[in-house]
Structures are given as C-alpha cells and as structure tokens.
C-alpha cells in the first residue's frame, strides 16, 4: 500500500505512468466512469479549502465512486479533541482511500503511519501540497507535450510560496530546464533553493522586472503577492503593480508561451488576459481533476 505525502514520492518513471493514465482519462473519460464503483473516498479537511476538496470529490465521482468527509475541524471530532492518529484509524473503517488537509505540518504523515488505507496529503500548513505540483506538471506536459527543454519564469511571492518551491524541486529532475525568478527583493527565492540549483549546475537568473524576461519564457508561473508579507503598506503599493500580468505584457511573450497560476487569483492577472489562449490557468484546474483521478486509481491499484 502506498501513500502520497510529498511531490517527490514518485520517481520520474512513476510520474510518467501517472501522467499517461491522466492523459488517457482526458481522452476517454467514459472508459473510467465506473472504475471506482463501490469505492469510497474520505476527504478529511481540518481547514477549509474548497477548490482542493471539490477537485478530489469530483475526481472520485467521475470514477463512479462515492465521497464522504468533513470540510473544517469544527464539524469533526477534532473539535472534541480527537487526535489525527485516532481519526484516521476510524476513517479507515469507513472508506477505501483518504485525502487529508491539516493546518499542522506533518499531520498527513502521522495519519499515513497508522492508516490501513492509502492516504493523500491534500496540503499540510506551509509544508507540502503534492497534488498541486502533480497538477502543474500534468498541465505543462499535456499542453507543451514535454517536461524538459524549456525556460520557465516564476513570478510573485517566491519566498513563501510553497507551490513554487515544490514545482522547482520537481522540475530539476528533468533535462535542460532554465529558471527565471521574477520577484521583489523582499520576496526573493530562498537561498537553499539557489544553492541546490548551483550544486546541480542548473541555469537560473533573478530579476525584478517581468517585462524584461517575457520574450524568453516558454512558461510563466504566476503567484499572488500577498499584502501581509510586507512590513509596510508603502512597499506593497510600490511593488504590487510590477507583477500584474496584463495584455500589454502578454504582447511581449512568445505565441506559444503558457501562463499558469495555482489560484486563487486576486489581481495579479488582469481579467483581460483570461481570453488569451495562452492563459491556461482554468485548464490547469481541469488537469487537477484528471491527475487526482489517475492518482486515486494508482493508489487503489485499480487497472482499467
């Protein structure tokens, strides 16, 4: 029995198989419509995350399975003081697989160590969110047709954004990836990631200006610059507009460049960009469902 705790739990070869399955699901959804009949997914969400939870539930429903669960700690036995260790042993009696989100880092790991069913980490605090990384990788692979040989720009909050860190760690396993980090000085990529890239001789550059690098990019991964990360309002106001992606900036980009965003978007991508065929962030959400379907089938060891 396997669990998914971290984005790098699967080898590159295992990811290839997972993505092939997800792409087959995209092409032939009817073939998989009854694959999980009689199976139940428990979504144990100790903190609200509507999109991730609904994505998991949609994935199971698309496979013909059923879902049960709770969507915040107050409506679960955690409010009565039950430990994650006890909850997972109880849930193991109700469901065949479990997706767990918890504000405390490592909570899904505790669950997995005691569970008799596969456990998926659906986000634990600022620590890991592996299915977001799988979603990002599948989106790139499905639209660009490859996971190697490209220049990717990561823009916005590169200091605290865990999706960005996970994606970098996942991409360094592929050949010939060139990273461009676009952020204000206050939100630069952490030193340990820079060190890792240097050690592996992976090309990267850092810049504060998005316009400068737009023409080079094959992929632009946007994130939100959060107001609460700044020490003062002035800095925030000064910097936030650097990173608003609008039609003007899109004019500088290649015709086949794609824009990804883990969502929710606030104002960092102007709505006028939404109709640009290169803006794929809503398709990315759809790929999130496909990759979760493939993940459920893989962890449940169901072959179609």
State the minimum distance, in angstroms, from the CB of residue 83 to other proteins: 5
Count of chain residues binding other proteins (CB under 8 A): 15
Say whether residue 104 binds other proteins (CB under 8 A).
yes
Query: Which window, 101-109, 225-233, 234-242, 274-282, contacts other proteins (CB under 8 A)?
Result: 101-109
Q: Does 84 bind other proteins (CB under 8 A)?
A: yes
> Residues 3, 127, 165, 265: which binds other proteins (CB under 8 A)?
127
Reference 91, options 229, 284, 102; nearest CA is 102
- Radius of gyration from C-alpha coordinates of the chain: 20
The C-alpha atoms of residue 184 and residue 98 are separated, in whole angstroms, by 39
Active site residue 198: no
Active-site annotation holds for 165: no
110 binds other proteins (CB under 8 A): yes
Helices 162-171, 130-144: inter-axial angle, 10-degree rounding: 60
Q: Of the listed 3, 101, 127, 265, which one is catalytic?
A: 101
Question: Could you write out the DSSP letters of every residue in 173-210?
Answer: TSSSEEEEEE--GGGPPPHHHHHHHHHTT--EEEES-H
Tell me the closest approach of the beta carbon of residue 154 to other proteins, in angstroms: 21
Cα–Cα distance, 255 to 60 (Å, whole number): 36
Q: State whether residue 43 is helix, strand or coil.
A: strand
Is 4 a residue that touches other proteins (CB under 8 A)? no
Nearest-angstrom CA–CA distance, 69 and 53: 10
Question: Which one of the listed residues 27, 80, 200, 303 is annotated catalytic?
Answer: 80
Q: What is the DSSP secondary structure assignment for residue 36, as one 8-state letter?
A: T
Q: Which of positions 54-83 make contact with other proteins (CB under 8 A)?
A: 83
Is 51 an annotated catalytic residue? yes
Query: 265 catalytic, yes or no?
Result: no
For the question of residue 80 being annotated catalytic, the response is: yes
Binding test (CB under 8 A) with other proteins, winner from 64, 125, 206, 207: 125
Which of 129, 224, 240, 265 is flagged as catalytic? 129
- Within 13 Å and on the Cβ side, how many CA atoms surround 219? 29
Query: Which one of the listed residues 52, 87, 133, 298 is annotated catalytic?
Result: 52
Distance (Å, whole) CA 120 – CA 59: 13
Give the range of 57-65, 68-76, 96-104, 219-227 binding other proteins by CB under 8 A. Answer: 96-104
Residues forming the active site: 51-52, 80, 101, 129
Give contact residues for other proteins (rule: CB under 8 A).
Answer: 83-85, 102-107, 109-110, 124-127
């Amino acid at each position: 029995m396997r669990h998914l705790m971290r984005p790098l739990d699967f080898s590159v070869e295992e990811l290839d198989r997972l993505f092939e399955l997800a792409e087959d699901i995209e092409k032939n959804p009817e073939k998989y419509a009854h694959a999980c009949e009689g199976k139940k997914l428990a979504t144990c969400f100790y903190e609200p995350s509507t999109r991730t939870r609904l994505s998991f539930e949609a994935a199971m429903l698309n496979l013909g399975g059923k879902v049960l669960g709770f969507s915040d700690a107050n409506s679960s036995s955690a409010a009565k003081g039950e430990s994650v260790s006890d909850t997972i042993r109880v849930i193991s009696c109700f469901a065949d697989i479990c997706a767990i989100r918890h504000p405390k880092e490592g909570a899904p790991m505790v669950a997995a160590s005691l569970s008799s069913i596969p456990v998926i980490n659906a986000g634990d605090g600022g620590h890991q969110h592996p299915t977001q990384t799988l979603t990002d990788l599948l989106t790139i692979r499905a639209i660009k047709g490859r996971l190697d040989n490209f220049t990717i720009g990561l823009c916005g909050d590169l200091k605290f954004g865990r999706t960005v860190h996970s994606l970098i760690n996942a991409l360094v396993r592929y050949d010939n990836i060139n990273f461009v980090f676009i952020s204000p000085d206050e939100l630069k990529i952490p030193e340990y990631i820079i060190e890792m890239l240097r050690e592996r001789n992976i090309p990267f550059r850092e810049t504060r200006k998005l316009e400068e690098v737009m023409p080079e990019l094959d992929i632009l991964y946007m994130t939100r610059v959060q107001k609460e990360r700044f020490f003062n309002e002035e800095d925030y106001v000064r910097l936030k507009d650097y990173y608003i992606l609008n039609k003007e900036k899109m004019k500088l980009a290649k015709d086949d460049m794609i824009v990804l965003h883990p969502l929710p978007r606030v104002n960092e991508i102007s709505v006028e960009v939404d109709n640009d065929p290169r803006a794929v962030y809503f398709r990315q959400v759809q790929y999130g469902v496909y990759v979760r379907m493939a993940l459920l089938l893989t962890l449940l060891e169901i072959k179609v």
